[in-house]
Structure 1
Amino acid sequence: MPVASPYAARLGEIPVERREAQILGSTTAYWVYGDDGDDGRAVPTVITVHGFRGEHHGLEPVVAYLPGVRVISPDLPGFGETPPIPGRAHDLSLYSGWLSEFARTVAPDAVILGHSFGSIVCAAAVAGGLRTPRLILINPIGAPALEGHKGVLTRLAVLYYSLGAKLPERIGTLLLRNPLIVRVMSIAMAKTRDPALRRFIHDQHDTYFSRFADRDVLHDAFVTSVSHDVRAFAGVIDVPTLLIAAQRDDITPIEAERRLATMFPDAELVEIADVGHLIHYETPAEAAGAIRRFLRLPVAPAR
Structure 2
Amino acid sequence: MTEVTLSAGVVEYGDTGGDGPVVVLLHGVAMDGSLWRHVVPGLRSDFRCVVPMLPLGAHRRPMRPDADLTVLGVAHLVAEFLDALDLRDVTLVMSDWGGAQALVAEGRDQRIGRLVITSCEAFDNFPPGLPGRNLYTAAKLPGGLRLAFALLRLRPMRRLPLTWGWMSKRPVPHDVMDAWFRPLWTSAAIRRDLRAYVLGVPPRDELLAWAEALRTFDRPALVVWAAEDKVMPLAHGRRLTDMLPQGELVEIADSFTLIPEDQPQRLCEAVRSFVPLP
TM-score past 0.5 threshold: yes
Tell me the alpha carbon deviations over residues 170-209 of structure 1, each in whole angstroms, 9 at most, x when there is no partner: x7524333223445323332324xxxxx3x4444223313
Quote the residue 2:225 is aligned against: 245
What SS does the aligned partner of 1:211 have?
helix
- Deviation of 1:232 after TM superposition, in Å, equals 4.5
Tell me the alpha carbon deviations over residues 116-151 of structure 1, each in whole angstroms, 9 at most, x when there is no partner: 11xx2321123322221111111132343379xx95
Quote the residue 2:5 is aligned against: 22
1:291 equivalent to 2:274? Answer no
**Distance in 1 separating the partners of 2:92 and 2:133:** 31
- Runs of 5+ unmatched residues, structure 1: 1-17, 38-42, 193-197, 299-303
Quote the residue 1:94 is aligned against: 73
**Distance in 2 separating the partners of 1:61 and 1:100:** 25
What SS does the aligned partner of 1:256 have?
helix
Give the direction of change, closer, same or farther, for the CA distance of 1:45–1:172 in structure 2 (3 Å limit): closer
**Distance in 1 separating the partners of 2:123 and 2:262:** 22
Tell me which structure has the larger Cα radius of gyration: 1
In structure 2, give the amino acid aligned to 1:215. R
What SS does the aligned partner of 2:73 have?
helix
Quote the residue 1:81 is aligned against: 60
- Runs of 5+ unmatched residues, structure 2: none
**Distance in 2 separating the partners of 1:258 and 1:264:** 10
**Distance in 1 separating the partners of 2:31 and 2:147:** 18
Contact between 2:55 and 2:194, CA under 8 Å: does it hold in 1? no
| CA RMSD across the alignment | 2.7
2:139 to 153, 157, 161: 161
Contact between 2:39 and 2:267, CA under 8 Å: does it hold in 1? yes
Give the direction of change, closer, same or farther, for the CA distance of 1:176–1:24 in structure 2 (3 Å limit): same
1:65 to 25, 42, 53: 42
Contact between 1:133 and 1:240, CA under 8 Å: does it hold in 2? yes
Q: Where does 1:157-196 land on structure 2 (aligned, <5 Å)?
A: 157-163=135-141, 166-167=142-143, 172-178=145-151, 179-180=153-154, 181-184=157-160, 185-192=163-170
Q: Percent sequence identity over matched residues? A: 24
**Distance in 2 separating the partners of 1:62 and 1:248:** 20
When normalised by structure 1's length, the TM-score is 0.76
Give the direction of change, closer, same or farther, for the CA distance of 1:234–1:201 in structure 2 (3 Å limit): farther
When normalised by structure 2's length, the TM-score is 0.82
Give the direction of change, closer, same or farther, for the CA distance of 1:211–1:24 in structure 2 (3 Å limit): same
Equivalent pairs counted in the alignment come to: 260
1:115 to 95, 99, 109: 95
